[in-house]
Copies of this chain bind each other. A is one copy, B any other.
């Protein structure tokens, strides 16, 4: 049975301040929790319906609470979730090592959680395992981010840091999209480097722009002024993979 304190605790984890304090986050929905259970995240508690728990026996590795669908709908961020909620430990924010033959993303203030989640899912599709994010970027453990990743949060690692300090000593190519850049259909991306994705409204900041070694452009054939940040990420990743 779920206590009032449990419910209060789960709800508190929707807020970044409490996630940081508790170093825990919430994962919702059958498919995403299944991905969580298959990952190396430490799972503290699984709160599921009888149907979910009978198909996904996890009592040997974590605390389990059985609840009704109605109770579940009341405690999560998403009302459409009628199967399971899990509480897991956050990973520590440690510097990710980028190999010379690897592409990684740099997020320069991606503020929308849906965009961040979609970027993580897209990165996972294109085999990109590491993301370096500015401290203003949306929180990886925000329930909206976790949900939009569709399970890819278990396979992509993020490191929040000051981008200027991170980029200054970096020796490989740093790609960034600008209107005056080289057409990505013609760019040779080589075997590794960083791809900077700019903020939804203002693009790549001046502070980060100075470190971009290769300005690139997604060619436009119509009249939209810009592309959504997650869309731009996908188109660039597809071209990177194609040119390798």
Interface residues of chain A, those whose CB is within 8 Å of chain B, are 114, 118, 121-129, 148, 150-152, 155, 185, 218-228, 230-231, 234-235, 238-239, 241-242
* Contacting residues, chain B, for A221 (C-beta < 8 A): 125-127, 241
* Contacting residues, chain B, for A241 (C-beta < 8 A): 219, 221
Asked if residues A185 and B242 are in contact (CB atoms below 8 Å), the reply is yes
- The chain B residue with its CB closest to the CB of A219 is B241
* Contacting residues, chain B, for A219 (C-beta < 8 A): 241
**What is the minimal beta-carbon distance from A177 to any residue of chain B, in angstroms?**
13
Given contacts A114-B114, A230-B231, A231-B118, A238 and B218 within 8 Å (CB-CB): yes
**Number of this chain's copies in the complex:** 2
**What is the minimal beta-carbon distance from A189 to any residue of chain B, in angstroms?**
13
* Contacting residues, chain B, for A242 (C-beta < 8 A): 185
Asked if residues B155 and A222 are in contact (CB atoms below 8 Å), the reply is yes
* Contacting residues, chain B, for A148 (C-beta < 8 A): 228
What are 26 A-B contacts with C-beta separation under 8 Å?
Answer: A114-B114, A118-B231, A121-B231, A122-B224, A122-B228, A124-B222, A124-B223, A125-B220, A125-B222, A125-B224, A125-B227, A126-B221, A126-B222, A127-B222, A128-B222, A148-B228, A150-B225, A150-B226, A151-B224, A151-B225, A152-B223, A152-B224, A155-B222, A219-B241, A231-B231, A238-B238
Given contacts A219-B241, A235-B235, A235-B238, A224 and B121 within 8 Å (CB-CB): yes
* Contacting residues, chain B, for A226 (C-beta < 8 A): 125, 150
Alpha-carbon distance A177/B213, docked complex (angstroms): 35
Alpha-carbon distance A218/B210, docked complex (angstroms): 33
**What is the minimal beta-carbon distance from A138 to any residue of chain B, in angstroms?**
15
* Contacting residues, chain B, for A123 (C-beta < 8 A): 222
Asked if residues B118 and A228 are in contact (CB atoms below 8 Å), the reply is yes
Alpha-carbon distance A221/B127, docked complex (angstroms): 5
